[in-house]
Amino acid sequence: MDCPKCKGTLRVEQAEGHIGFRCELCKGIWLSNKYLKSLELTHDFNAEEFISQLGLLPRAKLKILCLECSNNLYEVSVSGLEIDFCKSCSGIWFDKSELSRLITQHKDSGKGAVLVSGFFDVLSAIASSL
């Protein structure tokens, strides 16, 4: 599978038994809808609620295609960061260090429950192992 940003090779990564993808070149991270839903099995996390919250945010259509369904990704602003979201299949692309910056911002501000309860704790564990 090729990176949607730089066309580098995406490598399968595992964190806490969940599978995601990381680009070997640009270090971006792809989390599919299946990945998000699998988090419900091991964490206090509601994937549908999280995806619904992302879908409500203003977004700009990108020329980058989704890795899962080949539809265009949309840029969504979350805490001052621009993450790429597929409104068709709910996959999420994080550019290098966006995931860790998002986690840091919410841990520092105490706003870990802004999108969904427990989500930033889950992502923190994932980011540290990817």
DSSP-assigned states of every residue in 61-88: EEEEEPTTT-PEEEEEEETTEEEEE-TT
pTM over cut 0.85 = no
How many CB atoms are closer than 10 A to CB 56? 8
Q: Residue 36 pLDDT > 80, yes or no?
A: no
Residues 84-120: pLDDT tens digits?
989 899 888 989 888 777 666 655 444 444 444 455 5
Domain boundaries, the chain: 10-129
Rg from Cα positions in the chain: 13
